[in-house]
Amino acid sequence: MSLLDYLVEVRKKNVIVVDIQPEYKSYIRFDMEECMNFLNSQRDLLVFFNGPDTVGQSSSDVILRWWYQQGFDLHNYKKTVRWIDKGYGFFRTWMDQGVDEKRIQEVVRYMVMNRISDSRLIPDDILLDFVEGYHKGVDDEFLLQDPIYLPHISLGMLKKWSGSYLIGGGRNECLKEIKILLDTFNIRYTIVKKFSF
């Protein structure tokens, strides 16, 4: 193996893909063929998508067919592709109300440590202690009644993807939710801005 081949090989990483699917093609501003060439040249893929089990959108088969039409290589396909129908909105209500990301992370860690899947199950006084002074004019009642919840994503599995590239969208929506989840548990990633929307 030449030095150049070696350098190219060590730059390859696993890739975490978020919501690159037909429903969002009007929001995608990058060249899909370039994106598929990027995925073709990397290692394994962990694909988070909004699918039929959660919000009634495309199945993994439909998304894979669409990717193929955009240049994804199925013929010499040696990658492992893990598909997770994640749904959306597990942190969004708090994100959209301006709750600080660090506070969301603290609440999520508390939920995991205490095996709680819905923030409404945290005692009110504890929950408000976490976020006191860290939300922009949000009514405490909102935080108590409109929950964040933990998606059905294995933390052990997710940690295996540490060091991956992260692509997809939306930057302030689902991609940001996945970033917050990864940051909460110190799972490293590198965002590829060129393939984020």
| pLDDT, tens digit, 9 for 90 and up, residues 125-135 | 898 888 776 55
Pair 49, 63: CB distance under 8 Å? yes
Residues 40 and 106 in one domain: no
Residues 56 and 120 in one domain: no
Residues 21 and 84 in one domain: yes
pTM, entire model: 0.90
Question: With bands split at pLDDT 50, 70 and 90, how would you rate the model's confidence at 138?
Answer: low
Residues 125 and 70 in one domain: no
Residues 25 and 57 in one domain: yes
Residues 104 and 160 in one domain: no
Domain span at residue 141?
97-145
* pLDDT single digits (tens) 14-73: 999 999 999 999 999 999 999 999 999 999 999 999 999 888 899 999 999 999 999 999
Residues 156 and 83 in one domain: yes
The DSSP code sequence of 125-152 is HHHHHHHTT-SSS--HHHHHHS--B--S
Residues 82 and 9 in one domain: yes
Pair 121, 106: CB distance under 8 Å? no
Tokens of 58: 């495309």
- What is the arrangement of strands in the sheet containing 15-18, beginning at the earlier edge strand? 81-85, 45-49, 15-18, 164-168, 189-196
Residues 28 and 47 in one domain: yes
Pair 13, 167: CB distance under 8 Å? no
